Chains A and B, each alone.
Chain A
Amino acid sequence: MHARERVVVQPEALDALIGALRRRGYTVVGPTLRDGAIVYEELESGDELPVGWTDRQEAGTYRLERRADEARFGYAVGPHSWKRFLFPPRIRLWQARRNGDGAIDIAEEPPDERPLAFVGVRACDLHAIAIQDRVLLGGRFVDRDYASRREGTFVVAVNCFEPGGTCFCVSMGTGPRAESGFDIALTEILDGEHRLLAETGSELGAEVLAELPTRPAVERDVDAAEEAVAGAAARMGRTMEAGDLRDLLADNLEHPRWDDVADRCLTCGNCVLVCPTCFCSTVEDHTDLTGDLAERWRTWDTCFSVDHSYIHGGSVRPDNRSRYRQWMTHKLGTWHDQFGTSGCVGCGRCITWCPVGIDITEEVAAIRGGGEREHAPA
């Protein structure tokens, strides 16, 4: 069991951190500014971090704004989550070749063994990664591709001091402090000297940190960090009463609120794309023109498509109402039955990125807050 140590690093040392990880052969992925959003991409240096930027998030709204300081992590989460690297949108599963005597040779895609290092993982996203681990690694069958990408991923977590307008990690018990699942956890302090408190979470994390210029953490560093995180916890953009959602939703599958949200939902699937735990996928079979070479690709899918529930005859969920209900009751309710946890980490992305501003916390409150169950006339 690793004994955690705390040191203090200067913001400039983040460049050294990225360099240290790259020298060890990691592909470093972290936040950077592109197309008006803070997204996760491969980083080559600390210069690529969104220095002095923050985000303004509300239902259906995401805007970047300049900060008055040079904070490296002064924003919440954007449209990307780490699933795009652990569970990529498109991968080839295998190739098949028809040989001369009619037989088929099938070659599985070799695993991607490039080690990944994630820099800037928020507590909510740490939980999201753990949730996807459970789905794709924790059952009888292990997703080979996910396992190979996940293995040995180096995680630099960041404790939020600037929550987003749609965040509700406190309600979901997933943040803003990173508790485990990281090699290094950083808390940026802007009070007084601009510095970062770095906590080691593993031997490897300690080794990497040792390559950077650090000084030991003292009480005022630790206190300032605690205060920053506590401040974030106190400024959540949303709350959601989440303790009984499995039963609440199971008991309200015919609640009139589903008709209400069905009128607003476009079934565009943005929420699925940005959600860090959504894992639905589908497969595509392709052949080349000769017909002798076939491939199967796995791609992201969404329960909002009509096709998702198609069986011979038609789709079981033919309308917006049933598809929105599926997404929300799965995320908050039946995920517990299927995988033993909630599927929601309170990151707020689905609220921010919904083009019509549907707010999952508001939908829960509406279902909870009375309203009659639909009765057929007697």
Chain B
Amino acid sequence: MAVGSVSMRRLDEVLQEVPFFAGMTEAQLGLIAGCGSNAIFDAGEVLVREGDAADTFYVVRHGTVAIDLHSPTRGSLTVETIGPGEIVGWSWLFPPHRWHFDVRALSPVRATAFDGACLRGKCEDDPVLGYDLMKRFAQVFIDRLQSTRLRLLDVYGDGA
């Protein structure tokens, strides 16, 4: 991973444009930005391996990443792809803080990486911020779960 130099704009200004954080106050964005940094990945680069310590989540700004599970005989199986504006990683939220999947850049990727421990600390100190973030994450979980359930139904199969 290459840590890019912070662009001419401050990170909290950049975050204002990320839909995931839409509606948060400047102060809240400032707090969150304090835990963030820029991250750049090449196409094909592995961000995360299943089982690695999970103390980061990413907001993808450009490019696409794949969420994979490794099978000994089939290699990397992609279960989902995540694109610009979307978040990658929720294992940082709860112990034992270990990634459950592999994450791999499918294209060149620019993302904002957030330090989980830092953010957990700020949420503990500021429950209003914490609840706000938790609601946003919950919405992501719900969306992803719903989409997974629909995929399980195999609606393209025998005419569901």
Contacts and interface: CB of A to CB of B under 8 A. Distances in A.
Is A–B contact present in the complex under a CB 8 A cutoff?
yes
B59 to A, nearest CB: 15
Contact of A377 (B47, B72, B74, B75): B47
List the 6 closest A-B pairs by CB distance, nearest first. A377-B1, A313-B73, A314-B73, A316-B72, A376-B49, A314-B74
Nearest to B102: A376
B52 A312 contact: no
B46 interface: yes
A315 B72 CA distance: 8
Given A377-B39, A377-B41, A378-B56, A313 B48 contact: no
B73 A376 contact: no
B7 interface: no
Interface string A284-297: 00000000000000
A318 interface: yes
Contact of B74 (A310, A313, A378): A313
Interface of B: 1, 39, 41, 45-49, 52, 55-56, 71-75
Chain A interface, >50% SS class: loop
A103 interface: no
Which one of B1, B55, B73 has the greatest number of beta carbons of chain A within 10 Å? B73
A310 B55 CA distance: 36
A311 interface: yes
Given A313-B74, A376-B49, 9 more contacts: A312-B73, A314-B74, A315-B73, A316-B73, A376-B47, A376-B48, A377-B1, A377-B45, A378-B1
B4 to A, nearest CB: 13
B47 A318 contact: no
A319 to B, nearest CB: 9
5 contacts: A311-B72, A313-B71, A377-B41, A377-B45, A377-B47
Given A376-B46, A377-B47, A314 B75 contact: yes
Contacts of B49: 376
Contacts of A376: 46-49, 52
B144 to A, nearest CB: 22
A312 B74 CA distance: 9
Contacts of B71: 313
B17 to A, nearest CB: 24
A247 B73 CA distance: 27
A316 B75 CA distance: 8
A321 B47 CA distance: 20
Interface in A283-335: 310-316, 318
A312 B72 CA distance: 10
Nearest to A318: B75
Contacts of B74: 313-314
A185 to B, nearest CB: 48
Given A376-B52, A377-B1, A378-B56, A311 B73 contact: yes
Interface in A319-378: 376-378
A272 B156 CA distance: 49
Contacts of A378: 1, 55-56
